[in-house]
A and B are shown apart, each in its own frame.
Chain A
Amino acid sequence: MIDSIKYKIQICCGTMCYIMGGAELHLLNDHLPSNLKDKVSIEGIPCIGKCDTKEKHHPCVKINGEELNNATSQKIVKQLLTLENNDLL
C-alpha cells in the first residue's frame, strides 16, 4: 500500500495547551475538508514546552514538524490548504 499521508499533525497534549484550547483540536478530523481527510494524520504528543503564560503561545501544534502557535482547528485547516495549494503550483 502506498502511504498517502502527506501532513503529519502533532497536537501538544501538555496540560497547559490542553486546557487552553488544545482539547478542542482533537476534533480536528471533523473540520477537515474531504480532499484533505486521507492525507492527514493526527496524533497527540507530549509537552513541547510552549507553556509560558506571558508569551501565550498555547495551544501549540506541529504540522510536518513546523510549529503553529495559538492553534485553532480553523487555523490548522487554513495552513494545510496553503501547503496543499503551494504543492500544486
Chain B
Amino acid sequence: MTYYNNAVITKHELLVRLIQLLDTNKLLDDIDRIPLEMRPRTNSPIRCCVHKDRAVIKYKLMALLGFNIADEQHELTPLKEYAEQALEGYTQNGNFLTVVDEACSSCVQVNYTVSNLCQGCEGRPCQVNCPKDAIMVLNGKANIDHQKCVNCGICQKACPFHAIAYLPVPCEESCPVKAIRKNADGIEEIDFDKCIHCGKCMTACPFGAISEKSQILNLFNNIKHKKEKTVAMVAPAILSQFKASSAQILNSIKAVGFDEVMEVAEGANMTTDHETNELLERLNSGATFMTTSCCPSYIEFSEKHAPELKPFISDTPSPMAYTAMLAKKRFPEHKAVFIGPCLAKRTEVYQNQNIDYVITTEELGAVFAALKFDLVKTDDSPIVSKVVRPESRGYAASGGVTNAIKTILSSEHNITTELIDGIDKKSIRLLRSLPNKKVTDASFYEVMACDGGCINGPVNVSPLKVSQNKLKKAIQEIQSEEAAV
C-alpha cells in the first residue's frame, strides 16, 4: 500500500481550488494565479526553485483539465485558455492517464548506486564480480558506469559493507504489466497498448507526476448552471470514504446539484442474480471455472494481456452497467454520472453509451470541501430506494461479490471460491495458468485489481482501514433499516 503523502494532498488542493474558482465564477480570471498562490516566494522550494515548483503546478493543473503536455502548442499559453476548453469538455481518446513531464523527476536510469559507506576495500568484490565491467574505483570509492550497468544487482549482494543501495523507480515497480517506461529523454511514458488503468503508478509516484484526465470542471459547470439534468450513480465504495452516514453522503451528493441519486448497489443486486445463474449454467455445461467481470481493470488486463482468459470471464454486466440501464429507463432525459473510487471505470464508461461522466472520490470530496458542505450536519433520512441488499454494498470490498453470490446459492451447490485480491505480478501468473488447468482449485474466482477491493481504489481519500470500518457501518445501516420494517 502507498503511505499517505504530500503529493496526494497537492492534488486534492488543486481540485479544491479549481472548484472554488469555478463556483465563484472566477475560474477564467484567477486560474493562472493558482501556481503563485500555492507556491509563494516566501516558502522554501520543494524542487530546485520556486519557478520550477510553479511550473509543476501549472502542468498538473493542465493534466487535471484533460490536457497532455504534448498538447501544448505554445509555452506562453495561459491556463485560462485550457480552462475555457475544459469547461466545454475535452475530447476523450480512451487514455485517461498522463505523465506530467515537468513533475517527473526522471528517477534513476540505473537502479544501483554506491553510497558513501564504500570503504574502497582491497577485495573489491563489486568490481571483480561485475559481469559487465561497469565498476571503477575512483578516489578510493567505487563508481558505477551507467552506460555499462545492466541492473543485475550482483555488486549489491557482493559488497560486505552494504554500501551499494538499490534505488527503485516507483511507478515502474508498481505497474503490474510493464506499461510505463522511460523515453529517450528519461521521462516516463505510458504505453496505452499495455496500460490497464489500475492507477497503481499514479499512487506510487512520490512526485505526483502521473495524473488522470478529469471531467469535473465540465460536469460541475453544467450542474452549476443547470445546463443539463443529471443522475448521480454512486458506487458503494463512496459510502466508505467520508465520515458521515450513507444517507448523509447520498443526500449531500444530491445537494451538490444532481437531480437524481441512485446507488450502484442497486445494479449490484442484478449482477449478483445474473452472475449466480451464469455460474451454475457454465459449470453444468462443463466449464472448469468462471471469474467475475465487475472489475474494469481486470477486464482491460484480459483484453490486452491474457486473451486466453476471456472465455472464462462472466458475461454479466457490471453493477455500474446495470445501474446505468436502470437510470436510462427511469430518467431518459438525464445525463448519467458515475461517482466511484476507480480510474479504470473511465475506460469502461468510454465504451458504455449509457453513461456520460465519471467523477472520482477525490473530486467529489473536493466539491464538498469547496462548497463547504458539512456532511454530518446533512439530512440523515434515507433517499434511495429500499431495494438495495446489504451484500450489494459489500461489493466494494474484496470478497464482497463472492459473499453476495453465496447468499443466493443454496447449500446443495458445492461451489468452491477463491479471491484474487489485487492484480500484481504474482496473481497475474496464477490467472494466466488457470485456462490450461484441467482441474482448478476453485470454480469461482473473484478478481479485484486493487488489494482490498474498490474501497482501496487509487482515487480514494480514506486509508483502507478506515474505509473497511466505514463500509461495515454502511452495510449495517441497511440491515438495521430492514430490521426496523
Residues of A within 8 A of B (CB): 13-16, 18-21, 23-24, 26-27, 44, 46-47, 51, 53-54
Q: Is the interface of B mostly helix, strand, loop or mixed?
A: helix
The 10 closest A-B pairs by CB, nearest first: A15-B368, A13-B243, A16-B369, A19-B365, A15-B369, A47-B374, A23-B462, A24-B4, A26-B466, A19-B12
Q: Which residues of B contact A19 (CB under 8 A)?
A: 12, 16, 362, 365-366, 369, 461
* The one of B4, B17, B362, B374 that contacts A14, using a Cβ cutoff of 8 Å: B374
A18-B243, A47-B372 provided; 4 other pairs, C-beta below 8 A?
Answer: A14-B369, A15-B242, A23-B461, A26-B243
Q: Which residues of B contact A18 (CB under 8 A)?
A: 242-243, 365, 369, 461
A15 touches B373 (CB 8 A): yes
B9 touches A46 (CB 8 A): no
- A and B contact pairs by CB, cutoff 8 A, 12 listed: A13-B376, A15-B375, A18-B369, A19-B362, A19-B369, A21-B4, A44-B243, A47-B374, A51-B369, A51-B372, A53-B16, A53-B17
Which chain A residue shows the least CB distance to B373?
A: A15
Q: Which residues of A contact B13 (CB under 8 A)?
A: 20, 53
Q: Which residues of A contact B244 (CB under 8 A)?
A: 13
Which chain A residue shows the least CB distance to B367?
A: A15
Q: Which residues of B contact A23 (CB under 8 A)?
A: 461-463, 466
Considering the chains assembled together, what is the distance between the CA atoms of A44 and B473 in angstroms? 15
Considering the chains assembled together, what is the distance between the CA atoms of A47 and B377 in angstroms? 9
Report the minimum CB–CB distance from B81 to chain A (whole Å).
24
A20 touches B463 (CB 8 A): no
Number of interface residues of B (CB under 8 A): 27
B185 within 8 A of A: no
Instruction: Name, among B365, B369, B377, the residue most crowded by chain A CB atoms within 10 Å (CB to CB).
Output: B369
Considering the chains assembled together, what is the distance between the CA atoms of A54 and B376 in angstroms? 24
Q: Which residues of A contact B17 (CB under 8 A)?
A: 53
B20 within 8 A of A: yes
Instruction: Name, among A16, A21, A46, A47, the residue most crowded by chain B CB atoms within 10 Å (CB to CB).
Output: A16
In B358-384, which residues have CB < 8 Å from any A CB?
A: 362, 365-366, 368-369, 372-377
B122 within 8 A of A: no
Considering the chains assembled together, what is the distance between the CA atoms of A18 and B366 in angstroms? 10
Report the minimum CB–CB distance from B34 to chain A (whole Å).
10
B465 within 8 A of A: yes
Considering the chains assembled together, what is the distance between the CA atoms of A18 and B9 in angstroms? 11
Instruction: Name, among A14, A19, A23, A54, the residue most crowded by chain B CB atoms within 10 Å (CB to CB).
Output: A19
Report the minimum CB–CB distance from A14 to chain B (whole Å).
6
Report the minimum CB–CB distance from A24 to chain B (whole Å).
5
B20 touches A53 (CB 8 A): yes
Scoring B residues 97 to 118 as 1 if CB is less than 8 Å from chain A, else 0, what string do you get?
0000000000000000000000
A46 touches B20 (CB 8 A): no
Which chain A residue shows the least CB distance to B376?
A: A46
B29 within 8 A of A: no
In B443-475, which residues have CB < 8 Å from any A CB?
A: 461-463, 465-466
B193 within 8 A of A: no
